[in-house]
Amino acid sequence: MIDNADAYHHDMKFEKLHDLPQQNDLSLRLERLNGLPPRNLDLYPTLAKDRIVVVLYVHNRPQYLKVVVESLSQVVGISETLLIVSHDGYIEEMNKIIDGIKFCQVKQIYATYSPHLFSDSFPGVSANDCKEKDDAGEKHCEGNPDQYGNHRLPKIVSLKHHWWWMMNTVWNGLRETRDHSGHILFIEEDHFIFPNAYRNLQVLISLKPKKCPDCYAANLAPSDVNSRGEGWATLIAERMGNVGYSFNRTVWKKIHNKAREFCFFDDYNWDITMWATVYPSFGGPVYTLRGPRTSAVHFGRCGLHQGQEENKACIDNGMVNINVEEPDTVSNIELNWEVHTYKNQPGYKAGFKGWGGLGG
């Protein structure tokens, strides 16, 4: 039996630039919480055999999280599956929101080596760390700046660390999912999920082997986050997007085999890292299958790293006005549709080069 901590330690063995820090009391407590069974087992004692596990990747934006949780509560079929919420550290207000979920089984996991848990040592900020654009020689500090001269900022680089930890923990570490052979859907705290999302995704996954055997994934939304879809009577195959993406264990193994490329690519964004270095290494186009009308939208107006207090949320008047129309409430993908493929879509050939200072 491999527990959550062992899976994490095992995955980090591919190359150790740093020994993992000694866990503090909070880190150890969160590790124990990661081993707890899902909540709401009394309300939903059994899960559907063909379930698509849903994983929600969150940081510190409670106003956003309230919106996505409310949208999930309206998703048809959500009670049939398990929702896993992956936290970057422990933030009480975020925790309280998840505690209120009663519409499905829910399990919370916490990144036990998040910099948010280590306030005065690596992977957080150490006393002798260079800050911002410090000159290491002049300031007598330690640091390895990126190409812009910026030293490592833990709350930024943790975005990519958290994503990689979450993927490894969900696929390889948790009792609930380490033997899961089906697709897992990944969403974030600034994704509004339409009521038909789960049912549409079930249809897409069932159609993918025949309609698009070369597709690696199924997506709820277009890769262009500003698009609501074409509205055509066809399925769409295109570059994998970062809003509502799902894939199976076979694809995860291909991604995991590129751990070194992922961790050492000079960018703190997990998605740009995937587009610029991991997917191209697969040797051909990495297509995803989706419908012609979106089942999820990105509503964020501020970066993941900023964090939001109740009265400073990046949402107009604390509200999100997303128009859910009648076609968005029921599955709207037809089994007989053909597939329109977008070929040679522009992508990222390089990152933003902001991954210096032992970011990876």
Residue list for the binding site: 88, 190, 298
Alpha-helical segments (H) within the chain? 4-11, 25-34, 62-73, 92-99, 136-139, 154-168, 197-211, 249-256, 259-264, 270-273
Distance CA 315, CA 293 (A): 24
Binding site per annotation, positions for substrate: 88
Residues in the chain: 360
Q: At what angle do helices 154-168 and 249-256 cross, to 10 degrees?
A: 130
- State how far Cα 32 lies from the chain centre: 22
Distance CA 160, CA 168 (A): 13
Residues 6+ apart with CB under 8 A from 280: none
Distance CA 223, CA 80 (A): 27
Main-chain dihedrals φ then ψ at residue 215, nearest 5 degrees: -75, 135
Binding site per annotation, positions for Mn(2+): 190, 298
